[in-house]
Amino acid sequence: MKRSGWIVVLSLLAGLLVPTNAAAAGRTPAECAAALDCTLAEINLMSMPDRLEFVRLMQSGPAAELGATDRWRNIEGVITFFRDRQLGAPGTWVSYVDAGIVEGIERGIAIALGRSDDEFGNPGSRKWANYLTRLRAGELTVRNVHDKAWSEAEQAATDHGVRVAEKTHGLKPSAVERRFFMYSEFYRWTLRNRPAVLDLLAVYGGLIHPELARQRVPFLDWFTDVRNPVPARKGCEVAYAAARLDPIAGLFTTLDLLLAYLPDLFEEYQSAK
């Protein structure tokens, strides 16, 4: 066979050997938001600007049918921070964890809309679907009830992303990333425990700022507002700066974290008023 003939044959064989999801890995944010079936592996390959667009399109598109046009604006704030800091490149620990979070939202919307019952192996998917179903039914109008349901869904998806990064791909976070992740855990704990946090602020707020105890309710409303990207982005900036300096080494209790993070966060809140 002539050389040109072998080239054609080898090209055809190469095409047959390409995995069927290889083309899907290049889907645009708009295509993923419309189909709601992009996998964690595909989302991992997205840049942070693309993930930001993806989350926004899910909210303005399919999630709007469920009354959830603005329920992941805080996630937008986090992804914006990653984008601006050039963190979370595809294949990194941060990328896989973030991809698990975004996949959980995506599949939760798909399940809640009745398009599919497939969780894609992400425990956060079902919890997000339950959250969205309750949201549409008007069951999440009380702030602490809403925030607890939101946080539990995101926690499940986050934990899945961590497992994929560490168990499936053998990745470990850097020391700075691990300390930064502690902040995200603190944030989700705060959403799940609003009454307890308000009690802590009433008792210890004066140690952080003279006005914090008095303004604890509006401050906590601002800090935990999932419909506002600014507090999440500002919180990431504070946490990342702290993580790089390692001032929280050896801190393990919730009160320790509260006292470590809140002075700067309260200053951000005051400047935003």
Dihedral sign, Cα of residue 226, residue 264, residue 161, residue 53: positive
Which residue blocks in the chain are alpha helix, DSSP H? 3-17, 29-35, 40-44, 48-60, 73-85, 93-112, 123-136, 143-163, 175-192, 194-208, 216-223, 229-245, 254-272
Ramachandran region, residue 93 (left: φ > 0; alpha: ψ -120 to 50; beta: rest):
alpha
| Chain segment 99-132, per-residue pLDDT in tens | 999 999 999 999 999 999 999 999 999 999 999 9
Q: What's the pTM?
A: 0.87
Task: Give the pLDDT mean for 169-189.
Answer: 94
| Chain segment 221-259, per-residue pLDDT in tens | 999 999 999 999 999 998 898 888 765 555 556 567 667
The tokens describing 164, both together, are: 């994929």
H, E, C per residue of 21-65: CCCHHHCCHHHHHHHCCCCHHHHHCCCHHHHHHHHHHHHHCHHHH
